[in-house]
């Protein structure tokens, strides 16, 4: 009896084939096989938003091959990823391949190992139409927003722009934060900091109170007042409080926390983190184990751990570290309200495969991420770290003078390392002083120095990829499967740019956001977008009809769009970054950058009275080897970059190679860099060539990852 299993990727197919043997043929669909074609809306809004799907261009042969395989087998299993997107892919496959949707042919693997794969094959289910409807609703919602709003903002700001249901909210968060930073007025405050000597060790402390209560110092005059009070004062340790506290480990990763921690510790961008996690989930050829999935499914917002996995981790902790490294009671983490609980937290599929054991079978990046996931998970089940804490109050008094000042110092030392033996959180303890000398109540301390320090309140930080993802999660915007693509999209579309690790809005991003805030408030409202996510969750639970939800959303969108078109008739927003210093040859106005079918060009802002246009020229320092004119960057009709002489058509010099900005050491002509990194001289009579040197070749792997 022949059986066919369809998965999404070849790597996953290879891993599963190993466990199922020769009775099964395992093939990959390479993701979605059909979608809404991009050329038109392809959603029939007058017929209950019926989507018009088509086979994705380039996948016709793949679909034909799948149909042939289905015809020649007795049983078909749909084993796409265990989430909404995977369920939709299974539904598309079943529909295109003519499978019975009432048949139990859907199998799911939260982790790809022999036990899970065979268990899934033995317990097939029907395709979950609730999940499919939720995915379709999301896809149609995004298509409606994109295809109805994008033409409007393109007309009002710049051709080729796009709006997105979730991306626009993400850009707004960045724009609002940027405006908050720009408007921030720092406030001055001071601290009085002292250093004392005790048992030949230094004890640092800060002024916290006086006879009137808590001290707040706002300027230098107030700071000088306290410093004068402290002249010739005697300092006594008036209170020494000792105690212990337990520091609990962080929970195992969910998608968002994995992306955030990989950004902080590994300098990985979210998209890179998800790509590597997908590889670890689908399977790696590990020495001694063969092809095996190393982690559980990586798109999840649940902190649940199976009891089977917990028992295996507890056994590992006991054997590796001893029973004292297990907590007194098993630790259970509470999943946040509104999270989907379909999958476990991200954890090793087999805790016995340690990062050290797998290292030789993994790429450097795979090892880094697997080590992070493995350590975080095992540490989450270990005993807490026990710390001895101390808080010291030091009273400053002058003989014969009423009043007093109190300085405070606090710190801790490690009594039992617990989970920190394996994994440390990125954030440090607030009480970071671990070197406080032994002090007893009543001890007289010798003052080493006391001084006033000026400070200013700081504005909120610019978003990083990690902090933006955290905010999206906290506000309920997007879902684990979308965080990475949101960031990638808003940068690709030039609404946001990276500045090191910081995300900053461009002028285009600010202008687009302000337009949407003014005319389409709901589209960029975090609460509204989060409520749409909740409705999508209700659809997959069977609580909400997705067609009714789409009607409600679309009707409101159309009314708002119609009103905006009327209010902004004849108006256009001109971006400062699009205005150039190139003068129009006919009317003298400063020409502006426009976007056309073949890319950017210069146009007169006086259109339609003045219709002058020019190609947008990229200036270079290279000199034409034929006539000595300037070499400029140009675009072909198909949008490819090339370089040619500014004296064209009198001079027809052109090259696909890029000017380096340097001159040939042999003949002095301009050098160009071509394919393969070879640098050649533009002078055909000169034979100078060399290999381009890599910039920052000595960077560490972590620096390169950013």
So which residues are the catalytic ones? 297
CA-CA-CA-CA torsion sign (514, 518, 523, 526): positive
The answer to whether 299 and 305 have CB atoms below 8 angstroms apart is: no
H/E segment holding residue 208:
strand 201-210
CA-CA-CA-CA torsion sign (474, 477, 482, 488): negative
Q: Quick one: which of 681, 542, 671, 705 has its CA closest to 137?
A: 542
3-class secondary-structure state, position 413: strand
Residue 131: how many other CB atoms lie within 10 Å:
22
How far lies 506's CA from each of 149, 167, 176, 464, in Å? 20, 15, 12, 15
> With the CA atoms of 582, 584, 587 and 593 taken in that order, what torsion angle do they form, in degrees rounded to the nearest 10?
-90
Indicate the pairing of strand 658-663 with strand 689-691.
Answer: unpaired
Q: Quick one: which of 654, 662, 701 has its CA closest to 679?
A: 662
Q: Which residue has the tokens 């370089």?
A: 643
* Residue 248 backbone dihedrals phi, psi, to 5 degrees: -90, 150
Name all contacts of 659-665 with Cβ < 8 Å and 24+ positions apart.
Answer: 659/620, 659/621, 659/622, 659/631, 660/692, 661/620, 661/621, 661/622, 664/688
Residue 126: how many other CB atoms lie within 10 Å:
13
Q: Which residue has the tokens 């034979």?
A: 687
Q: Quick one: which of 631, 611, 618 has its CA closest to 682?
A: 631
DSSP for residue 529? H
């Amino acid at each position: 009896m022949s059986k066919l299993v369809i998965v999404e990727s070849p790597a996953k197919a290879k891993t599963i084939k190993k466990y199922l043997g020769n009775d099964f043929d395992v093939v990959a669909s390479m993701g979605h096989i059909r979608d809404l074609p991009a050329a038109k809306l392809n959603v029939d809004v007058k017929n209950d938003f019926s989507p018009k799907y088509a086979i994705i261009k380039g996948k016709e042969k793949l679909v034909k091959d799948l149909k042939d395989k289905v015809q020649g087998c007795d049983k078909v299993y749909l084993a796409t990823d265990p989430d909404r997107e995977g369920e939709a892919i299974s539904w598309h496959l079943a529909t295109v391949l003519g499978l019975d949707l009432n048949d139990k042919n859907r199998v799911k693997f939260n982790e790809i190992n022999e036990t899970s794969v065979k268990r899934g094959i033995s317990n097939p289910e029907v395709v979950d139409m609730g999940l499919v409807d939720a995915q379709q609703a999301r896809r149609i919602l995004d298509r409606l927003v994109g295809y109805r709003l994008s033409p409007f903002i393109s007309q009002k700001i710049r051709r080729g722009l796009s709006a997105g249901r979730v991306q626009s909210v993400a850009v707004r968060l960045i724009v609002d934060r940027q405006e908050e930073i720009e408007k921030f007025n720092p406030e001055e405050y001071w601290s009085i900091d002292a250093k004392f000597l005790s048992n030949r060790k230094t004890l640092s402390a800060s002024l916290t109170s006086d006879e009137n209560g808590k001290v707040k110092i706002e300027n230098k005059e107030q700071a000088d007042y306290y410093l004068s009070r402290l002249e010739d004062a005697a300092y006594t340790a008036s209170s020494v409080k000792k105690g212990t506290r337990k520091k609990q480990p962080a929970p195992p990763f969910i998608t968002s926390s994995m992306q955030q921690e990989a950004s902080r510790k590994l300098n990985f961008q979210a998209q890179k983190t998800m790509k590597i996690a997908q590889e670890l989930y689908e399977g790696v050829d590990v020495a001694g184990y063969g092809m095996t999935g190393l982690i559980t499914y990586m798109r999840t917002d649940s902190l649940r751990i199976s009891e089977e996995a917990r028992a295996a981790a507890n056994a590992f902790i006991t054997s590796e570290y001893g029973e004292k490294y297990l907590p007194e009671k098993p630790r259970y983490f509470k999943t946040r309200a509104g999270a989907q609980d379909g999958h476990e937290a991200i954890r090793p599929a087999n805790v016995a495969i340690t990062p050290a054991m797998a290292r030789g079978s993994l790429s450097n990046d795979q090892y880094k991420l697997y080590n992070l996931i493995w350590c975080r998970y095992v540490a989450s089940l270990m005993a807490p770290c026990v710390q001895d804490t101390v808080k010291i109050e030091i009273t400053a008094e002058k003989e014969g003078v009423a009043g007093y000042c109190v300085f405070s110092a606090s710190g801790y030392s490690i009594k039992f390392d617990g989970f920190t033996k394996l994994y440390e959180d990125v954030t440090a303890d607030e009480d970071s002083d671990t070197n406080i000398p032994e002090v007893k109540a009543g001890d007289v301390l010798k003052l080493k120095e006391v001084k006033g320090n000026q400070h200013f309140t700081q504005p909120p930080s610019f978003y990083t990829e990690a902090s933006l993802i955290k905010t999206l999660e906290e506000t309920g915007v997007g879902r684990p499967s979308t965080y990475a693509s949101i960031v990638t999209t808003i940068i690709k579309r030039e609404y946001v740019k990276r500045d090191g690790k910081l995300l900053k809005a461009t002028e285009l991003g600010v202008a687009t956001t302000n337009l949407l805030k003014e005319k389409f408030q709901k589209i960029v409202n975090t609460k509204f977008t989060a409520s749409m996510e909740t409705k999508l969750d209700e659809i997959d639970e069977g609580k909400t009809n997705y067609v009714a939800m789409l009607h409600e959303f679309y009707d409101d969108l159309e009314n708002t769009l119609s009103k905006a078109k009327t209010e902004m008739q004849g108006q256009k927003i001109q971006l400062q970054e699009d205005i150039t210093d190139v003068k129009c040859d006919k009317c003298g106005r400063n020409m502006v950058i426009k976007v056309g079918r073949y890319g950017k060009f210069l146009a007169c802002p006086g259109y339609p009275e003045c219709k002058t246009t020019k190609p947008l020229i990229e200036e270079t320092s290279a000199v034409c080897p034929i006539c000595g004119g300037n070499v400029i960057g140009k675009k072909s009709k198909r949008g490819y970059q090339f370089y040619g002489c500014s004296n064209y058509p009198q001079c027809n010099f052109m090259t696909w190679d890029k000017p380096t900005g340097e001159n040939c050491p042999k003949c002095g002509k301009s050098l160009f860099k071509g394919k393969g990194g070879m640098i050649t001289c533009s002078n055909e009579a000169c034979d100078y060539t060399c290999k381009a040197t890599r910039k920052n070749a000595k960077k560490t792997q972590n620096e390169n990852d950013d």
